[in-house]
């Protein structure tokens, strides 16, 4: 993975990564097991984001998305710290 962003605020974390092949080679979506299941113009291969929540001494995924072309994580504004990622209104 290429890590684009990791941000921790309190008991929450936001992670944004790009998947890649070993050695840094690009993933060709047409050669994956998902080929033909999605239109290539409506997914952002091979980008992924996740929101984590710390419970006790472990981080658990609250929500994640692979290939999202929208900012799905904005639906968590008000439920996670406002400084976790850009887009949430601040008080």
- SS3 assignment, position 76: helix
Q: Residues 21-41: what's their mean pLDDT?
A: 75
Q: How confident is the model at residue 27 (pLDDT cuts 50, 70, 90)?
A: confident
H helix or E strand, kind and range, residue 9:
strand 2-9
List, for residues 32-78, the tens digit of each pLDDT value: 776 676 655 566 778 899 999 999 999 999 999 988 888 999 999 99
Work out the number of other CB atoms within 10 angstroms of the CB of residue 87.
Answer: 10
State the pLDDT at residue 38. 60
Amino acid 58: pLDDT:
98
């Amino acid at each position: 993975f290429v890590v684009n962003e990791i941000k921790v605020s309190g008991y929450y974390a936001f992670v944004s990564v790009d998947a890649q092949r070993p050695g840094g080679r690009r993933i060709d979506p047409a050669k994956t097991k998902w080929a033909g299941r999605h239109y290539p113009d409506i997914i952002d291969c091979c980008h992924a984001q996740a929101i984590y929540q710390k419970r006790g001494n472990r981080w658990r995924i609250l929500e994640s998305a692979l290939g999202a072309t929208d900012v799905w994580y904005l639906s968590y504004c008000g439920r996670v710290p406002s400084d976790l990622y850009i887009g949430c209104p601040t008080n």
